[in-house]
Structure formats: structure tokens, C-alpha cells
Amino acid sequence: MVNVRRQPRISWEALLLSLPALLFVVAMFILPFLFGLNLSLHTGLKAEGELTLSNYLQFFNDPTQSDAIGITFQVALPVTLFSIVISIPLAYYMRRGIRFERFITTLLILPLTLGNVMVAQSMLMYYGRQGWFNQALQAIGLIKQPLALVHNWIGVEIALFIQNFPFVFLMILGYMSGINPDLERASRMLGASAWRTFWRVIWPLILPGVAIAFCLNFVANFTVFPSAVLVGRPDDLTKVLSIVAFRAAYEQNNPAYGTAIAFTMGIIEFLVVITVLWLRNRMARASVLGAGKGA
Amino acid sequence: MATSAKTYAAPAAATRPRVSLSGLTGKILFYGAIGLFIVNLIAMVSTVIIDSFAQSWFKTLLPPAFTTQWYSDLAQDHNMTQLLENTFFVAIATTLIALAIGFPAAYVLARKQFRLKGALYGLFLLPMLIPPLVYGIPLATLLIRLGLGGSLVGIVLINLIPITPFVIFILTPFIEQVDPAMEAASRMLGSGRFRTFRRIVLPLIVPGLLAAGVLALVRTFAAFELTYLVATTGSSQTLAVALYGDASGAGIRAHQLVNAMAVVYMLSTMTLVVIALIFVKPTQFVMSIKNR
């Protein structure tokens, strides 16, 4: 028998110190989750009787409810992709620091700290038909009629972009500025163009970060709630899953049904995240193999 | 935290590229894009402030006449004292409790090696990865059934779910930076565990506690969804929830009145953010999960 030094079995000290947080997460997160699961698998308010999938079936069999899935994707996916695609060149430019960096990042966190309700409310004035944005575009002669930028799909896209773009940008910037510049310099010195250096050196290194940023941003956009109500059209164009779930639980007073919709939303997100991470691993492997060939 | 990753500073010669056409285009594109975003942001906030002082405002650059009437109307529309009290109570209580239960857990994650550490890590990560509305609806249902609907206790409890792990993951790297040899030295010189903690670990960790505290405070202050699910009565509302109620009930109130409310909310958050920026870097507002 080879006697391998193992990690200590159970550290009582560690257990004791982490106990408050552990108990809290179990009591307030795991148990309610199980409570919700049980609730969603029963009909009625008491959660009694046999287990049934009827809440989930009711949702999927009702096209006026389940169309929210497609709507939510239409809302969440474009703005997520757009934020990522915009962030990469901007972060690339900024990777070694720029002038006014602290000033710029301070202003960028403004929407994060204001919160989503405030962002939506301020959009109603500024992007409204008579707001400054339309006035400015009309003044420079770009448009004749004011654009309808709120109370529709584009309103929610703008709100989500303002709210979440700084998050994506600063995150990708973090990954980008963590790359050792010697790698880039070596690649350039060996004759690769800036373009090729980006795709062969920088892109594979930031890919894991981009995938994480995509996932976190997508999850945030997928569960949009106040913006979809305030600057969207919550009855049709932006009737996203969180609105449907909230209405079921609070307005129709059917928490079991609302929880079933909320869980459906969570499962869809989970599947998207798994897919993206799987793609990331494939792409990472492909780029390593490609670079290895020296092609 | 990925944002705290080491940033490489390139030598000056390499950073300042020759002034070339492509360099100039890059500069214009970069500052143009960021500038446009920031100008829009500032203009958005400004319209809200200006409108809250406007008598009426249609199709003009600025309103023709100003008034402070909306702010005095606000006092009749809402119980502002209670709203502010609720908001600050929820934010401060959530932050303090999160620090109290998060700190020991962060210490364990930073210092101890033990079996199931990965599981513990994952357990704390879970509430941060699952969106609030997914667990919020069943949890709020449970809290309401327990009679905590519309109570500040319920609101603090539900907000602690995302904030406690948030605090843990901010504190962990700070604790990792404290040299364990210092603790060992203190113990060797005869100090007890508690004394070592109080005299050595705690003072060294103060910047981390401040950073985690102010970030948690700002986040809880602006938190909407979870609070909204539990704040079922008017007397338990926070500023963000009341603002949402005003904004979504459009047509009932004059928009100037809603915007006056927004300004009060904004001033309160901005005060916190200014205080926060003394202790933390702007990038720390973006919580990113360690890439493992």
C-alpha cells in the first residue's frame, strides 16, 4: 500500500467557521428550492396529493404562455451578442491602459449602480418621441419623423445594453489586460500581422473569459424584468418569461404555476450555458491544434 | 476575481504607437464609441433631473419654466421618510449580516485545505449563478407563507441570498493576500487564536471588509427584483420598489412627479457610490467569478 498524504478528512475548524454561511445557504436557498420544486409538481395551493407535471404541461400546451420562450430569446440573444462583439475591440484597444482610464470606468459603472428601474425610467424621457435623442437626430437632419425607441422591442434592447454593456466590457477588459504583452510582442517579432496575432495569440487566450462573460450576460438579459415592463410592451412584444412567471404567481395568485415557469426559465438558461461552455472547449481545442500545426 | 488579475504595464516605448493613420482611426473609433455611450448616459440622467423641475416640457430643448412644486407634491404622494428609512435599513442590515456570516466562510475558503472544499465553493457560487427570479418566486412564496411578506425582515433575508456569496468571493482574495506566516508568528509568540485574529488578521483585512461592505451596500440599495417579490405592502417598500410602482403606473402621476422620485433615488445611490469609490476601484463593481 502506498501511503499517499491526503488532505485532512474533515477540518472541524473549517466546518465551524463556514457553518453560519453554510446553514444560511441551505436554509434560504436549497430548502426553498426543494419547496419550490415540490410546489411546482403539485396543483393547488397546498402541494398535496400525487406528483404531477400538470403545471409544466399547462405552460407548454398554452401557446399564449409558452410563446414567451421565443420572445425571451429574441430579447436576450441579440443584445448579448452585440455587447460581446462591441466589447472585444474596445477592450483590445484599451488593453495596456489609456488616458482617463479611471474616469471612463467610473462613468461606465453609473448604470450598474443606478439599478435597472432607474435606467428604464430615465430612458422614457430621453429616448421618447420628444426627448433629446430624437430632437438631436432631427436637428442634424438624420431623420424626419421621431423614432419610436421606447415601449417596444428596441427599447428593451437599449435598456439591457445600457445596463449590462459596462459589465461585459469591464470583464473582458480584465481578461484582455491580464495577457502577458511579451506573447504579443513575440508574435509580432516573428512576422505575424496584428490581425493574425489577434486571432492566433490573443483570441485563444481570452476565449474562456469571453465565454464566461457571454454566459453571465445572457443569464442577466434572459431574466429581464423591470425594463421589459417599463420600456417594452409587456403584453406582447416583450412578454418575457419573467413577466409570465411573475403574473402567474402574483396576479393569478398561483405560486405553483409561477414557480414552474420560473424553473422552466432556469432550465433553459442552464442548457444555454452548458452549450456555450461546450462550444468554448471545442473551440479552444481547435485553436490549440491549429496553432500546433504551425499552419 | 478576474478583474483583480495582474495587469501588465508595457514599457513606454511599446505603448505609445507611432502616430499613424490606423492609430488615429483606432483612437477616433474608441473614444467615439465610449464617448457616445457616456454622453447618452449623462444626457439620460440629466433629462430626469431637468424634467423634475419643469412645469411642463414638450418638444423643446429645455422646459420653458421651472418649479420645485413636484418635490413638495412628492411628500404627499409618498411617505418619503419611511421609504428612506426602509431602504437604508435593508441595505445596512443586509450588508452587516452578510459580512458577519460571510467573513468566516471566506477565511475558510482562503486558508484551509479540506475535503469537500470544492463542494462548499460550488454551494456558495450557486446563488450567484442562478438568476434571482428563478429562486425568488418560490422563496418569496415560502416567506409570505411564513408571515414574512411585507416585512423588512423578509426583505433582508431574501436579499442576503445573492449578497452573502458576493461578499465571500470579494473577501477571499483579500484574505489570501495576508501572509499566513504572520499568524503563525503571533501564535508562536504566545497569542491565542482569538487575539491573533483580532490583532493581526482583522487589521490587515480592513480594506477588504470595506470594499466588500460598500459594494454590498450599493448593490442592495439598488436591488429591485427580490425586494419587489417580498415587499407586498406599501409600508415595507424601498425606494427602488416605490419608483418602479410609480413608473409602471404611468398616466396616474405626472411624469415630473415620477422623475422627482427618481432624482431622490438617484441622489441617494450616488452618495453611496461616491463614498464607495473612496474604498474601491470602479472595476470592482463588476463582480466576476474566478475562471476555474
Same domain flag for B269 and B202: yes
- Mean pLDDT, residues B177-185 taken together: 85
pLDDT in tens, B134-156: 999 999 999 999 999 889 999 99
**Residue A153 belongs to some domain of the structure:** yes
Distance, in Å, from the CA atom of B43 to the CA atom of B60, rounded to the nearest integer, reads 15
**In this predicted structure, what is the pLDDT of residue B285?**
73
B132/B48 same-domain check: no
Residues B143 and B32 in one domain: no
What pTM was computed for the model?
0.86
| pLDDT-based confidence at residue A72 (cuts at 50, 70, 90) | very high
B27 and B163, same structural domain?
Answer: no
pLDDT at site B168: 92
Is residue B37 domain-shared with residue B114, that is, in the same domain? no
Q: Dump pLDDT digits (tens) for B68-89.
A: 888 888 888 888 899 999 999 9
Distance CA B273, CA A13 (A): 37
What is the model's pLDDT at position A8? Answer: 53
Q: What does the H/E/C string look like for chain A? A: CCCCCCCCCCCHHHHHHHHHHHHHHHHHHHHHHHHHHHHHCCCCCCCCCCCCCHHHHHHHHCHHHHHHHHHHHHHHHHHHHHHHHHHHHHHHHCCCCCCCHHHHHHHHCHHHHHCHHHHHHHHHHHCCCCCHHHHHHHHCCCCCCCCCCCCCHHHHHHHHHHHHHHHHHHHHHHHHCCCCHHHHHHHHHCCCCHHHHHHHHHHHHHHHHHHHHHHHHHHHHHCCCHHHHHCCCCCCCCCCHHHHHHHHHHHCCCHHHHHHHHHHHHHHHHHHHHHHHHHHHHHHHHHHHHHHHCC
Q: How many structural domains comprise chain A?
A: 1
Looking at A157-161, B6-10, B20-24, B190-194, which range is the least confident one? B6-10
- Express each pLDDT in A118-160 by its tens digit: 898 899 889 988 889 998 998 888 888 889 999 999 999 999 9
Same domain, B54 and B115: no
> Is the pLDDT assigned to residue B292 strictly greater than 70?
no
Identify which of B15, B133, B258 has the shortest CB distance to residue A121.
Answer: B258
Mean pLDDT of B165-171: 90
What is the CATH number for A246?
A: 1.10.3720.10
pLDDT value of position B290: 41
Q: Is residue B119 part of a domain?
A: yes
- What 8-state DSSP symbol labels residue B200? I
Q: Is residue B7 part of a domain?
A: no
Residue A51, in any domain of the structure: no
Within 8 A of B45 by CB-CB distance, chain A residues are 110, 114, 122
Q: Is residue B6 part of a domain?
A: no
**Average pLDDT across chain B, whole number:** 84
Residues B154 and B221 in one domain: yes
Taking Cα atoms as reference points, which of A207, A210, A208, A217 lies closest to residue A79?
A: A217
B178 and B56 in a common domain? no
B18 has a pLDDT exceeding 70 = no
* B126 plus B78 within the same structural domain: yes
Q: Is the pLDDT of residue B2 over 70?
A: no
Per DSSP, B7 falls in state P
Question: How far is the C-alpha of A38 from the C-alpha of A245, rounded, in Å?
Answer: 17
CB burial of B210-228 (b: ≥16 within 10 Å; e: otherwise) equals: ebbbbbbbbbbbbbbbbbb
B24, part of any domain = yes
pLDDT bin (cut points 50, 70, 90) of residue A293 is very low
Q: Does A186 reach chain B within 8 Å, measured CB to CB?
A: no
Q: Which residue of A has its CA nearest to B272?
A: A113
Query: Domain for residue A25, yes or no?
Result: no
Q: What angle do CA B84, B88, B89 make, to 5 degrees?
A: 110
Q: Is residue B37 part of a domain?
A: yes
DSSP element (H, E) containing B76: helix B69-77
Give a yes or no: residue B12 inside a domain: no
Query: Do B223 and B262 sit in the same domain of this protein?
Result: yes
The letter for the amino acid at A79 is V
Residues B61 and B138 in one domain: no
Q: Within a domain: residue B232?
A: yes
Q: How far A30 CA lies from chain B's nearest CA (Å)?
A: 9
| B209 in any annotated domain | yes
The tally of CA atoms less than 13 A away on the side-chain side of residue A162 is 32
Contact: A93, B37; criterion CB under 8 Å: no
Whether residues B222 and A121 touch (CB distance < 8 A) is answered with no
The confidence score (pLDDT) of residue A127 equals: 93
For residue range A172-221, list pLDDT tens digits in order: 988 888 888 899 899 999 988 888 999 988 998 899 889 989 998 999 99
Higher-confidence position of B83 and B8: B83
Burial label for B6, CB within 10 Å (0-12, 13-18, 19+), is exposed
Q: Which residue has the higher pLDDT, A11 or A130?
A: A130
Residue B133, pLDDT above cutoff 70: yes
Complex ipTM value? 0.84
Residue A21 falls inside a structural domain? no
Domain identity same for B80 and B55: no
Q: How far is CA B124 from the centre of its chain?
A: 18
Write out the residue range of the structural domain in which residue B40 sits.
Answer: 19-67
Structurally, chain B folds into a number of domains equal to 2
Span A83-116, pLDDT tens digits: 999 999 999 888 887 778 888 888 888 888 888 8
Q: Which structural domain, as residue segments, surrounds residue A150?
A: 60-293
Q: At what angle do helices B202-222 and B239-248 cross, to 10 degrees?
A: 20
Instruction: Report which listed range, B48-62, B131-145, B198-212, is most confident.
Output: B131-145
Q: Is the separation of the CB atoms in B288 and B173 below 8 Å?
A: no
Instruction: Give dist(CA B124, CA B133) in Å, integer.
Output: 18
A13: in domain: no
User: Which among B8, B105, B141 has the least Cβ separation from residue A259?
Assistant: B141
A9, part of any domain: no
Give the CATH number for residue B80: 1.10.3720.10
Statement: residue B13 has pLDDT above 50: no
